[in-house]
Each structure stands twice: as C-alpha cells, then as structure tokens.
Amino acid sequence: MITLKTPAQISKMHENGRLLASCLHEVCTHVAPGMNTEYLDHMAEDLIRQEGAVPAFKGYNGFPATICASINAEVVHGIPSKKRVLKEGDILSIDIGLVKDDFYSDMATTVPVGQINAQAQHLLKVTKDSLCQGLEQVRIGSRLSDISHTIGAFVEKEGLYVVTEYVGHGIGRELHEDPQIPNYGPPGRGPRLRSGMVFAIEPMVKVDPEPTRVLDDGWTVVTASGGLAAHFEHTVALTDTGLEILTLGGEEKRSG
C-alpha cells in the first residue's frame, strides 16, 4: 500500500533531503586518486551525525557502513574499505541515506575520479539524464510505470542498458516502502500518481546487457562482464503544486 504524506511531513522530508544533499556534496569534494573509501564513509557518518541525524544504511539488514561505495563494475552496495583505494580513471557511485525525526531520505550519485575515458563519461551523462527524464513523469494523473518506461527507453536509445534486478521505491517512515519503481517496462500501468506520494527514483545503468551478480561478501552487486555501471538517485515528492525534488542542495533548483 502506498502511504501518502501530509504537507508537514513532506516539509520535514525536504529538510532531511537538504541535509543529506549537503553531506553528499562534501564527501564528493574529497573523491580523488589515492583516497580510500573507508575514509569517505567515516566522513559521511560524521557529517550526518553532526546534523542530529542517523545514517540510514549502517546496520540496515546488517550492512556495515554509512555509504555504499561502488567502484567501476560495482553497481550498488559496495562496502567501504581502507583497502579500496581510488585511482585515476575510476568512477565511484556513492549511495547515502539518513533518518531524522522519524523520516528517511535517500540519494545517490556517480562521480569521476580524476580524468575518465569517453565510455565512462557517456555512461555518467546518460544515467544522470535518465533520472531527469524519469522525474519529468512525476505529475498528478500519470501512471507509475510512465516513470519506469521513460527511464528505460531513454537509456536504450543511448545504447546502454538498465539494471533490472534492482529498483526504486517509496520512502517515508521506512527506508523502503511501496511501491517498487523499476527502470524499465511499458507505460500506462500501475496506480495513478497523487499528491502526497514520495519516491526514491534511482536508475542504475550499465554498458552491456549481461546480468548482475552478488560477490561473496553478500552485498556488493557487480556486472557479470566487468563492464562499468553508474547510479543516480533522488528522493522526490508530488504535491498539489507539482514535483518537489527533496534531495537537492541549496545551490540547485528544488522543484520542477
């Protein structure tokens, strides 16, 4: 069942999203060759706790860290480690969440480590643009699968492939709520979108059609081929006045 949020609850989630975006932005400024992902994880936890919030992922179903730090062929759920040292030409996906005043916020971005090659540049641009395309479908009266179809069709048109095994989701008092939001499928299906719905929309895109697999750590999802993957995510709300992107920093426009 999709739980609708009140304007007051959405306002609270907007504040949480702003805090989360600020934390992620600060972490990303430290991404550079020679940096290890454990350092970034500790920084993220410190920043979140300084805001009076709690890391959403740490301890969630046993996950051991504040951020998911996924490098190159790692799609999602990469575990930060002092041994995972970034090098020139890598791409790093950072998935991060917090909970404060009983409400969750969730977002992700993929950033270059130094100079990256043309394939990686194309992957990052298409994945980020596919999220923007999907967000344009978040409007009252649309069908839920219009979001999914738009993301998948755009990625396919650009010669890349969406990850089908992992999906977006509702969010609120729980990190993962109904509904699930795939990044593929036909349009015009599922419930109609209504004011008060809050979603985490998160395309994960890869450079080839091979499936994903989970490493022996039980968490890290990788492309079976070793090809690159990227991940972008925003928490968004639908209100009477339209779309609100809750996880934007102060320097960015917050609605569309």
Number of domains the chain is built from: 1
1 within domain boundaries: no
Looking at residue 255, its pLDDT comes to 33
Give rounded-to-5 percent helix, strand, coil for the chain: 30, 30, 45
Who's near 142: CB < 8 A, 6+ residues apart? 192, 193
pLDDT band per the 50, 70, 90 thresholds, residue 249: confident
145 within domain boundaries: yes
| pLDDT 10s digits, 2-35 | 999 999 999 999 999 999 999 999 999 999 999 9
Q: What is the mean pLDDT of residues 242-249?
A: 95
**pTM summary value:** 0.96
132 within domain boundaries: yes
254 within domain boundaries: no
Looking at residue 254, its pLDDT comes to 34
253 within domain boundaries: no
| pLDDT 10s digits, 185-227 | 999 999 999 999 999 999 999 999 999 999 999 999 999 999 9
Q: What is the CATH number of the domain that holds 163?
A: 3.90.230.10
| pLDDT 10s digits, 41-83 | 999 999 999 999 999 999 999 999 999 999 999 999 999 999 9
CB-count exposure of residue 81 (10 Å: 0-12, 13-18, 19+):
middle
Note down the domain range covering 12.
Answer: 7-245
Q: What is the mean pLDDT of residues 84-103?
A: 98
252 within domain boundaries: no
